[in-house]
Amino acid sequence: MSGNSKVHHGVPAQSLTVLKPQKLGRHHHKIPQFIKETTNKNPRLIGDYFLRNYRISLELSKVEVQEPNEKAPDCIYRSPMGKVGFSIDRALLTEALECYYGGTIVPSQETPPISTSEQRMRNRLGLDLTYIFARSILSGETFGELERYENDYEETSWEYVAEFEYVSHLTNSRSSVFIHLDTDLVDELTSRLAGPLPARLSGNPVDHIKHLPVRLDCVVASVQMPLSQVLGLQLNDIVMVRPLDRYEVRINQQKLFRGTVFEEDGALFLTSLESVKSQ
């Protein structure tokens, strides 16, 4: 067998890029950067929500948008644009619960089972923060009405998960809020980022081609000199050139016409065009 082998031995699997058929031909890669940019423009949206409703002062630490791992979201909501998942770290959830009911005790680091109050609070936070997230990336619009989605028989295909990490000024701890986006929702966001499709032109395609802009370059003068002289040129040097008798007209460096130039009212005009092939 000759030639280079197409098998690369010893290459770790995690270093390879796995192509996903549903992403081919689509600008899904723009979604993570777009979410980060919109968040950096309005970094206080979620923090202001917690401060206004729960008297919790949060400072945004980082924003990461990655492909989802095995951990499923705590809550799933269905919207006209697709499904949204929501998760929140237990420490921030219990802190919001304590502050909502007027408590001042710092949440413990123990992990007892999720209570009914925590479940209600998590669902409330999920709805509110998902609406805030949608309005931030859709310039004030939302994903539409959100409905709690519970279906054990249908597996949701998540495309991206956005993590917003915050530092609490009360407990000085770091906690994150996670927003999961499914494939349908990412497709909708991608189409909106791409903008409206160009209007389909009607009529003969040849007529449309004739209206395409073409750049014409007119060579007024040229000179030939050794490379050593070209390399020796300095700023403010003067090079003696002789105007051409017939000026060459080029398109994309290809000689097509020759013509003459005349001046009228301070403007230059090209006239007496003749094809180069006719010479």
- Predicted confidence (pLDDT) per residue in 77-89, tens digit: 999 999 999 999 9
C-alpha–C-alpha distance, residues 182 and 7, integer Å: 34
Residue limits of CATH 3.40.1550.10 in the chain: 20-194
Contact 253, 233 (CB under 8 A): no
pLDDT 10s digits, 30-67: 889 999 999 998 899 999 999 999 999 999 999 999 98
Taking each continuous run of H as one helix and of E as one strand, the counts in the chain are 7, 10
- Asked if pLDDT for residue 26 goes beyond 70, the answer is no
pLDDT one-digit tens code per residue, 213-252 = 888 888 888 888 889 888 888 887 888 887 777 888 888 8
pTM recorded for the entire structure: 0.62
Assign a CATH topology to domain 20-194: Chemotaxis protein chec (3.40.1550)
d(CA 277, CA 279): 5
Residue 17 has pLDDT above 50, yes or no: yes
**Minimal CA–CA distance to 246: which of 263, 258, 262, 256?**
258
- pLDDT score, position 224: 84
Q: If one looks up domain 214-278 in CATH, what number appears? A: 2.30.330
Confidence check: pLDDT of 275 > 70: yes
Give the per-residue pLDDT at 279: 46
106 pLDDT above the threshold of 60 = no
In the chain, residues under CATH classification 2.30.330 are: 214-278
Mean pLDDT of all residues in 5-19: 59
State the average pLDDT over residues 190-218. Answer: 77
